[in-house]
Structure 1
């Protein structure tokens, strides 16, 4: 796994129901690095950093009036993994909707795409762009 200090690009997102998405992210394979909650309302995630085991990560928080990222359900990300079928299966079992089934890609690797419970698209594949 990459060291968080080595990661230079972080995808940022906001969620309507951060706790439900934390459950989905965990089931899919993300690992919590840090999660900070509003002291007056612990259901509100002010800032979170979660790592993808193959490298990279996401930052997210609850959708808030004072938040900067407001495109809930409008994000798209690509997760690189040596086990794309397994990650895809876990994502669907955790509540994702299939957009494109897993297929062998003409350009190499294997991949598919799902939509998470909040409408964000996640492509999962074994192809590592170089």
Structure 2
């Protein structure tokens, strides 16, 4: 496997819930580092996406300048996988941003928002 060169970075109000959501939609956990004085605080977590991609995340802190909604595009293998992952995300607490549809530039896609408002575009279009 090639080492990822680009990571989408997020902050969560409940990092453990964020990790659970990401695992449910197909990410695998590579590492979780917790604050030694407060085990509920995730100082850094890294999750892998398929063969070469990933997310880094942590718990929000008071006055954190890095907190805010983000958008991540998850490229999946097929149109059927878009529909399946969309349903799984909804079952795990996501809300619909866009229903599954076919894009003019190609591919099948849908978009959900997780509990902290981060958008997850699920897409069979791998890019040009």
Provide TM-score, normalisation by structure 1. Answer: 0.89
Pick the aligned partner of 2:115 from 111, 114, 117: 117
Per the TM alignment, residue 65 of structure 1 is displaced from its structure 2 partner at its CA by 3.5
| Counterpart Cα distance in 2 of 1:101 and 1:66 | 34
Q: Which runs of 4+ in 1 moved over 3 A?
A: 65-68
| Counterpart Cα distance in 2 of 1:66 and 1:115 | 23
Partner of 2:125: 127
| 1:9 matched to 2:6 | yes
Partner of 2:90: 92
Partner of 2:71: 76
Please identify, of 48-57 and 36-45, the stretch whose mean Cα deviation from structure 2 is larger. Answer: 48-57
Per the TM alignment, residue 70 of structure 1 is displaced from its structure 2 partner at its CA by 2.3
Per the TM alignment, residue 67 of structure 1 is displaced from its structure 2 partner at its CA by 4.9
Aligned ranges 1:25-36 → 2 under 5 Å: 25-36=22-33
Superposition RMSD in Å:
1.5
Partner-residue secondary structure (3-state), 2:56: strand
1:54-82 deviations in Å (ceiling 9; x for gaps): 531010000014755222xx111110001
Per the TM alignment, residue 22 of structure 1 is displaced from its structure 2 partner at its CA by 1.2
| Counterpart Cα distance in 2 of 1:33 and 1:84 | 24
1:80-107 deviations in Å (ceiling 9; x for gaps): 0012111111111100001111112221
Query: How many pairs are equivalent?
Result: 125
| Counterpart Cα distance in 2 of 1:86 and 1:42 | 34
Instruction: Give structure 2 stretches of 5+ with no counterpart.
Output: none
| 1:55 matched to 2:55 | no
